[in-house]
């Protein structure tokens, strides 16, 4: 398993591609905005999430301000993200919980984050990494798929992948891992017919489950 070489190569290669929405948001904004952007991004393309986040943050950047908006105002701001009606409702619920239970602050512990509407382990881990600079491994479809293709893990669910990666991935790589793998998964190691011919880490890859490639 050539983990250090793979990580080193990806760090050199990924700047060639457009950064993910969560990376963009986390560079300059608060844990609350990272959390909101994560929720908006679920089942939604990055470009749509980016514009929706900007529109919403022009109106509200705190739980108090979200609660001051009507659901209709939130819906209008975040449309056309997937499930925008449900997400607008949950953003208000989440903001109320944050104010009532956490003094208006986003909690920095996994257990507390999971109490919030629309927040699963992936979102919670992203908030821990990008909102609080903690060591965590957010696992989405790309981070689940690519370590399995590489042959690093043999797992069936993202949650299994998270805990398997915790065992083999040195902690110094945890914070960068999601950004690197998601960028690679969106541009090179795509779900169907990956670009193996131009993959900079192909010599380290066992291509598990890869049939057709380009």
Q: Please report the pLDDT score of residue 19 as a whole number.
A: 82
Q: What is the pLDDT of residue 213?
A: 94
- Rounded to an integer, the average pLDDT of 50-78 is 96
Query: Which domains, from first to last, does the chain contain?
Result: 3-18+137-204 (1.10.1670.10), 21-132 (1.10.340.30)
Q: In a 10 Å sphere around its CB, with 0-12 CB exposed, 13-18 middle and 19+ buried, how is residue 102 labelled? A: middle
pTM: 0.91
Cα separation of 157 and 164, whole Å? 11
Q: Which residues does 140 contact at the CB level (< 8 Å), separation at least 6?
A: 122, 158, 178, 182
Give Dmax over CA atoms of the chain in angstroms: 54
Residue 99 contacts residue 3 (beta carbons within 8 Å): no
pLDDT of res. 26: 72
Calculate mean pLDDT across residues 110-131. 94
Catalytic annotation, residues = 122, 140
Six token digits for residue 73: 């105002």
Q: pLDDT value at position 28?
A: 63
Which residues have C-beta within 8 Å of that of residue 55, sequence separation ≥ 6?
77, 78
- Judged against a pLDDT cut of 90, whether residue 164 lies above it is answered with yes
Task: Output the six-digit token pair for 137.
Answer: 């491994």
| Mean of pLDDT over the chain | 94
Average pLDDT over residues 9-19: 94
Rounded Cα distance between 52 and 149, Å, is 33
């Amino acid at each position: 398993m050539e983990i250090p070489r793979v990580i080193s190569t990806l760090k050199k290669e990924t700047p060639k591609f457009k950064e993910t929405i969560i990376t963009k948001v986390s560079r300059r904004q608060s844990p609350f905005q990272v959390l909101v952007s994560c929720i908006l991004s679920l089942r939604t393309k990055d470009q749509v999430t980016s514009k929706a986040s900007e529109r919403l943050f022009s109106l509200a950047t705190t739980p108090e301000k979200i609660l001051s908006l009507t659901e209709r105002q939130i819906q209008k701001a975040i449309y056309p993200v997937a499930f925008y009606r449900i997400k607008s409702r949950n953003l208000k619920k989440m903001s109320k919980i944050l104010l009532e239970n956490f003094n208006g602050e986003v909690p920095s512990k996994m257990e507390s984050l999971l109490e919030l509407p629309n927040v699963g382990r992936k979102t919670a881990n992203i908030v821990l990494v990008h909102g609080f600079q903690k060591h965590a491994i957010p696992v989405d479809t790309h981070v689940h798929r690519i370590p399995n293709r590489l042959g690093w893990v043999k797992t069936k669910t993202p949650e299994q992948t998270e805990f398997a990666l915790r065992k083999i991935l040195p902690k110094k790589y945890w914070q960068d891992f999601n950004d690197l793998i998601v960028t690679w998964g969106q541009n090179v190691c795509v779900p169907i017919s990956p670009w193996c011919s131009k993959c900079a880490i192909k010599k380290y890859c066992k291509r598990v489950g890869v049939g057709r490639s380009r």
